[in-house]
Chains A and B, each alone.
Chain A
């Protein structure tokens, strides 16, 4: 980003070195070899815990694999994908997931930015506050979902008690029962839980910015809002994009929040919950694998978009 436009001419030679003499080539070959050797354990482990299950899932997606059928699965081509594609419940889960992702990531980015900016200023107790902000992030999602489930309870939940006391509502609300309300509940819990993550990444980016820039801006007489939009935001755009894409990818495969907090009816499912139901509840391993593969494809698509966007952002800056 900060590479001056004149630099590439001088940096090119190091990037593509001229054919080296034979002795050097042997040394570098040796280096490459040892590099691979050091990487090997990681690659093997990665292949076992990530690659193999992924490939198996892809394979199952093209078969009639069924949990209650002990015979080996048979290849059936694209049938599973067609079935999932034609299932309105799948599209409902896609809509739910996208809606959830859009709203929660937006809220998390805005809130995270506000908190990060606050924590970035110097005041007493900043260290303690910074640690405290992280608490929701440290609690396992299932635990926080269950905890919020009780807080949202319609008859003895603390949220209804609070709202009733404050006069916001005049009758208790069943937050997790109605599909429309449970979406709001799930988003609220997700925002509560992952805003700290956003804050942390944005704070790290903010702390990299040199003070001189702000001093210069101050001298030029720019107000805080102008400074934010003209100086801060453009400078942390890269890290912010990374943070957002991380959250988007994470939110797309949301499972536990929906599973614990909602009624699990087809109207309030996320894509991952849909895949799980096909796979285990209905024993349709093949169908579930197809749904999981489609979820994977959606996530991969976002990653590609991010990579393209990220590259153009870099080029723009350069």
Chain B
């Protein structure tokens, strides 16, 4: 009898292998805005479908802090986290710790995603991460306030400063003394690198380091861009932006205390949530140009999913990644929380556009988006970013002149980059 049972068990295991073991995989979810909630919903849907279990790991909101945490985990070969949420600038840095996802994802599926992101995530011929959602800096504004004070949406930063000042002053005079003109992210963290790169690129001041590895940051256009940004602090922006990250800026804007905000697309769904004080009063557009001969741009951001080499269940983890990055899940996330899909066809999807009308104009922003110089600087990127944002932060807090700071930065980056051979 016992033998028969054993035989039956073996037979079942062979015939229905998926029923054999329910594995548990751990995924690290982001914590900015609704990210954690949506990550959880997606992961749980997969668990239900696959019969496996999923464990969620949350981390710091600041990307560079999260990188620190991941790096300690990965360099210790820890198997605590199976699926990592990877910033667009990390594949070169962490790629060695991730498995190649090519065997798990079909060529057809891969082709649906933006090729630039797939290329970004391919390190040494290995697909180390799957695109999950993409990002670019956008300008949010209060269309009700602009209408009320008869102002037009700005096309250049100079116009933005004027409009912001006009509306802010008028609102303050009317008793709304907490009103701010423009909030953005200027804490000396990765997010300031993104903001500042947008200003400089919009003035056509380059990308800090060119694609061939030359340091280009010390140029008159970049100086002009930083001068412009520094002039906002204390006039249209509160001194406090110097310590704001995404959520700090969103807190001020969403509570109705700012005319303009620079942020990522995720803020759209939250600003229009039922309990949001600014629901229905917000519009989104591309970031302003740096002068009439500048260009509209946005720093390319976005997150990928990667499977750790040290995972005990790489195949199951890869299945979770496949599910979360699928068109179906990306569409759900776009509709409920405005996470930008990495699949081009979803930008023409009626249901998606109904909730996110600004997606049509976003496609243009994505094609114009500026990438941080992470690919050319490789493992040194976080150092480059830190030097850059520290210099910018000093200019914004007016402890240094842009000319001097950028000159010093140029020298520092040149010695860091050993003459372009990063």
Contact = CB atoms under 8 A, between A and B. Distances in A.
A250 interface: no
B110 to A, nearest CB: 26
Interface in A95-139: none
B188 A265 contact: yes
Contact of A177 (B180, B239, B252): B239
B390 A282 contact: no
B71 A280 contact: yes
Contacts of A263: 187-189, 242-243, 393
Nearest to A89: B390
B393 A265 contact: yes
A179 B238 contact: no
Main secondary structure of the interface of A (DSSP, over half): loop
B345 interface: no
B188 A282 contact: no
Contacts of B67: 281
A176 B390 contact: no
Contact of A173 (B239, B251, B389, B394): B239
A174 interface: yes
A67 B394 contact: no
B386 A155 contact: no
A67 B239 contact: no
Interface residues of A, number: 30
A263 B233 CA distance: 15
B238 A282 contact: no
Contacts of B241: 177
Contacts of B240: 153-155, 172, 174, 176-177
Given A67-B75, A155-B252, A265-B390, A174 B239 contact: yes
Contacts of A154: 238-240
Interface string B378-391: 01001100100110
Nearest to A164: B177
Contacts of A153: 240
A264 interface: yes
A178 B379 CA distance: 30
Nearest to A154: B240
A262 B189 CA distance: 11
A281 B68 contact: yes
A283 B386 CA distance: 13
Nearest to B384: A282
A174 B71 contact: no
A70 interface: yes
Interface string A262-291: 111111000000000100111110000000
A106 B75 CA distance: 42
A265 B389 CA distance: 8
B178 interface: yes
A68 interface: yes
Interface in B64-81: 64, 67-68, 71-72, 75
B71 A179 contact: no
B364 to A, nearest CB: 33
Interface in B225-253: 238-243, 251-252
A172 B238 CA distance: 9
B91 to A, nearest CB: 12
B93 interface: yes
B239 A265 contact: no
A284 B389 CA distance: 19
Contacts of A172: 238, 240
Nearest to B378: A68
Interface in B177-211: 178, 180, 187-189
Interface in A125-178: 153-156, 172-174, 176-178
30 contacts: A66-B379, A68-B93, A68-B379, A70-B75, A154-B240, A155-B178, A155-B252, A156-B251, A172-B240, A174-B238, A174-B239, A174-B242, A176-B240, A177-B239, A177-B241, A177-B243, A179-B399, A263-B187, A263-B393, A265-B393, A266-B386, A266-B390, A266-B394, A267-B394, A267-B397, A280-B68, A281-B68, A281-B382, A282-B383, A283-B382
Interface of A: 66-70, 89, 153-156, 172-174, 176-179, 182, 262-267, 277, 280-284
8 residue pairs, one from A and one from B, having the closest CB atoms: A154-B240, A177-B242, A174-B239, A265-B188, A174-B240, A280-B68, A177-B243, A265-B393
